Amino acid sequence: MSQNVGIGTSTPTDGKLHVVNSGNSTAGMFSDGTTGVALINENNRPGVGLNMYYSGSDYKFKGAGFGGLFFYVPGEGRMTYYSSTVTGTPGAAVAFRGIMTLEANGTVGIGTTSPNFSRVEIHGPSNTSHLLTSGGSNKPGISHSAPFDLSPSLGFNLYYANAFRFMSPGYGAQIQYSPSTGILYFSTTQTNGATGDLALFNSSSVAIDSNGYLGVGTTAPKARLHATSAVIGASASLPAAGYVLSVDGKVICEEVKVQNSTAWPDYVFEEQYPMLTLTELEQRVMQQKHLPGMLSASDVDAGQGYELGDMQKRLLERVEVLYRYMFLMNKENQALKAELQALKGALDKKP
């Protein structure tokens, strides 16, 4: 006939082995002599000690090594797992840290004993990734971390271990937000790498600041769109050497402002400005087949093109030179008129 066994009770009704202990203590220990599992009741919190037991005042190691502890709080419906922070020796006191908590409503906390913000809440050090999902070992995936100034980051084929590293061979990218500056960054890696290799990034491929300014190739955008270089149109070529914008196609707008840093051609009206005679000018133009100071057709046709601001300046200089010739011709014309009038007056006086 089956009988229940009671220890500390004369009415063992709750199981084949029913142990009742008074106060805060270990109710039972199952051990092989070196380590074991303890059944604990501390302040009405039932628990299970792994390689540890409760002495009535503190927790102690059963055997050498680490120790773990599960606690359940009936009044709050919370279960928490603690681990010792370091290894210990038999009988030594245990220092704990909270590893994982499960609330009565199903909320899970990892690295925290009081999850408050989401169904799954993870706390961890800034030098490691907090969450990683992938297709398997050495496969690409997505990771979450909060490195540097605790800037939350998403890594694509990257994880964080004191630096961003590749999850699998290939390239990687990251999205990072800095609460201290209010800037959201998106960066890609400069080169590909093997699993575990250190990832080096291009200088912030895209940045969006708290004003809503979008920067491409700059971490400090100064306008709604601030790009350090751009190619517009169907051309697959890079921006022309020395230029930040290349347009493969036509451009239409209401107004274009050119701000030229060189001297404007008003110097043409200075007395010391060298003026060719019209005969000398004709000889030079007919020889060179273009006006002085202007680009030749061969220069433009060879693909060199011309700069709008520079061309406007050259054209204005030619116009102002033309005015000087007109002024000179007007003076000569006035002198001829005066001379003609004098001759006419002299002829009119003759008998």
Using CA atoms, how far apart are residues 21 and 19, in angstroms rounded to an integer? 7
- Residues 320 and 260 placed together within one structural domain of the fold: yes
Same domain, 236 and 260: no
Mind listing the pLDDT tens digit for each residue in 186-225?
999 999 999 999 999 987 689 999 999 999 988 889 999 9
Q: What is the model's pLDDT at position 1?
A: 41
- Kindly tell me if the per-residue pLDDT of 307 is higher than 90: no
pLDDT of 350 reads: 72
Examine the domain organization and report whether 237 and 330 are in the same domain.
no
Cβ atoms of 48 and 37 closer than 8 Å: yes
Q: Are residues 166 and 263 in the same domain?
A: no
Q: Which residue has the higher pLDDT, 233 or 167?
A: 167
- Residue 107 in this model has a pLDDT that exceeds 50: yes
Distances in whole angstroms, Cα of residue 187 to Cα of each of 7, 159, 201, 231? 66, 14, 6, 20
Confidence (pLDDT) at 14: 81
The residue among 155, 160, 159, 152 whose CA lies nearest residue 184 is: 152
Q: Looking at the structure, do residues 153 and 164 belong to the same domain, yes or no?
A: yes
Token reading at 56: 């009535």
Say whether pLDDT at 87 is over 90. Answer: yes
On whether both 308 and 229 belong to a single domain, the answer is: no
Tokens 């009742």 found at: 20
Given 78, 99, 123, the domain boundary residue is 123
85 and 151 belong to one structural domain: no
Q: Using DSSP, state whether 11 is helix, strand or coil.
A: coil
144 with 206, same domain: the answer is yes
Question: Where is the domain boundary, 123, 157, 179?
Answer: 123
Percent of the chain whose pLDDT exceeds 70: 97
Q: Do 221 and 214 touch, CB atoms closer than 8 A?
A: yes
Same domain, yes or no, for 245 and 273? no
Please tell me the distance from the alpha carbon of residue 5 to that of residue 15, in angstroms, as a whole number: 8
Residues 82 and 132 in one domain: no
For the stretch 184-194, pLDDT in tens is: 999 999 999 99
Q: Are residues 227 and 320 in the same domain?
A: no
Report helix, strand or coil for 256: coil
DSSP 60-122: EESSSB--EEEEEETTTTEEEEEEESS-B-TT-B--EEEEEEE-TTS-EEES-S---SSSEEE
Q: Last residue of some domain: 123, 140, 161?
A: 123
Provide the residue range defining the domain that includes 272. Answer: 255-349
Q: At which residue do the structure tokens 């010792």 appear?
A: 84
| The total number of structural domains that make up the chain | 3
164-166 and 120-122 as β-strands: parallel, antiparallel, unpaired? unpaired
Instruction: Enter the pTM of the model.
Output: 0.67
Residues 288, 294, 297, 298, CA torsion sign: positive
DSSP conformational letter for 268: G
Q: How far is CA 159 from CA 95, 191, 247, in A?
A: 30, 16, 39
Is residue 112 within 8 A of residue 123, CB to CB? The reply is yes
